[in-house]
Structure 1
Amino acid sequence: MTNVLILGGTAWVSGLITRRWIDSGARVTCLARGTHPVPDGAELVRADRDDAEPYRDLHGEWDEIVDVSRHAHHARGAVEALGARTARWTYVSSASVYADEATPDTDESAETVAPAQDGDEYEYGAQKRASEEAVLALGERARIVRPGLIVGPGDPSDRFGYWAAAFDRAADGPVLIPRVEGRKAQVIDVEDLVSFLVDSESFAPVNAIGDVHELGHVLDAVRAATTHSGKVVTAEDEWLEAHGVEFWSGERSLPLWLPMDMGGFMTRSNAAYRAAGGTLTSLETTIARIVDDERTRGVHRARRAGLTRDEELALIDAL
Structure 2
Amino acid sequence: MRFLILGGTAWLGSTIATAAMHHGHRVTCLARGESGNAPAGIRFVRGDRDQAGAYAEVVSEDWDVVVDVSRQPGQVASAVAALRERAASYIFVSSGNVYADTATPGQDESAGLLRALKGDVMESMETYGEAKVACEELVLGAFGADRSLIARSGLIGGPGDVFDRTGYWPLRFSQPAAADGSVLVPDVPGLLTQVIDVRDLAEWIVDAAEDRTAGVFNTMGETVPLAEHLAVARGVAGHTGPVVGANARWLLDHDVEPWSGARSLPLWLPLPDFAGFNARDSSAARAAGLVTRPLAETLADTLRWERLRVPQGPRRAGLADADEVALLAELAGG
Cα separation, partners in 2 of 1:161 and 1:287, compared to 1, 3 Å: same
1:304 is aligned, of 316, 326, 332, to 316
- Per the TM alignment, residue 190 of structure 1 is displaced from its structure 2 partner at its CA by 1.0
Aligned to 2:174: 168
Cα separation, partners in 2 of 1:52 and 1:301, compared to 1, 3 Å: closer
CA contact (8 A) 1:251 1:304 kept: yes
Aligned to 1:49: 49
CA contact (8 A) 2:72 2:131 kept: yes
1:314 is aligned, of 298, 302, 326, to 326
- Per the TM alignment, residue 302 of structure 1 is displaced from its structure 2 partner at its CA by 3.4
1:251 is aligned, of 234, 241, 262, to 262
Backbone CA RMSD of aligned residues = 1.6
Q: Distance in 1 between matches of 2:88 and 2:107?
A: 31
Q: Read off the aligned partner of 2:2 and give its amino acid letter.
A: N
Aligned partner of residue 31 in structure 1, secondary structure: strand
CA contact (8 A) 2:188 2:248 kept: no
- Per the TM alignment, residue 301 of structure 1 is displaced from its structure 2 partner at its CA by 7.5
**How do 1:263-274 and structure 2 match up within 5 A?**
263-274=275-286
Q: Distance in 2 between matches of 1:221 and 1:121?
A: 37
Aligned to 1:295: 307
Residue deviations 1:164-199 (CA, integer Å, cap 9, x gap): 111111185111111131111111111110111000
CA contact (8 A) 2:37 2:44 kept: no
**How do 1:106-185 and structure 2 match up within 5 A?**
106-118=107-119, 121-122=123-124, 123-137=127-141, 138-139=143-144, 140-170=146-176, 173-185=181-193
- Per the TM alignment, residue 53 of structure 1 is displaced from its structure 2 partner at its CA by 2.3
Aligned partner of residue 62 in structure 2, secondary structure: coil
Q: Read off the aligned partner of 2:66 and give its amino acid letter.
A: I
Q: Percent identity?
A: 46
- Per the TM alignment, residue 303 of structure 1 is displaced from its structure 2 partner at its CA by 1.3
Q: Distance in 2 between matches of 1:78 and 1:154?
A: 27
Instruction: State the number of aligned residues.
Output: 318
CA contact (8 A) 1:187 1:211 kept: yes
Aligned to 2:196: 188
Aligned to 1:214: 225
TM-score under structure 1 normalisation?
A: 0.96
Residue deviations 1:40-99 (CA, integer Å, cap 9, x gap): 111111111111221122231101100000111111111111111100100011111111
Q: Distance in 1 between matches of 2:42 and 2:312?
A: 34
Aligned partner of residue 285 in structure 2, secondary structure: helix
Farther off after superposition, 144-153 or 291-300: 291-300
Q: Distance in 2 between matches of 1:272 and 1:31?
A: 30
- Per the TM alignment, residue 299 of structure 1 is displaced from its structure 2 partner at its CA by 8.8
Q: Read off the aligned partner of 1:105 and give its amino acid letter.
A: G
Q: Distance in 2 between matches of 1:306 and 1:254?
A: 5
Farther off after superposition, 121-130 or 204-213: 121-130
Aligned partner of residue 318 in structure 2, secondary structure: coil
Q: Which runs of 5+ in 2 are unaligned?
A: none
1:203 and 2:214 are equivalent in the alignment: yes
Q: Which runs of 5+ in 1 are unaligned?
A: none
Farther off after superposition, 29-38 or 290-299: 290-299
Cα separation, partners in 2 of 1:34 and 1:300, compared to 1, 3 Å: closer
Residue deviations 1:243-285 (CA, integer Å, cap 9, x gap): 1111101111100000002100011011101100110101111
Aligned to 1:61: 62
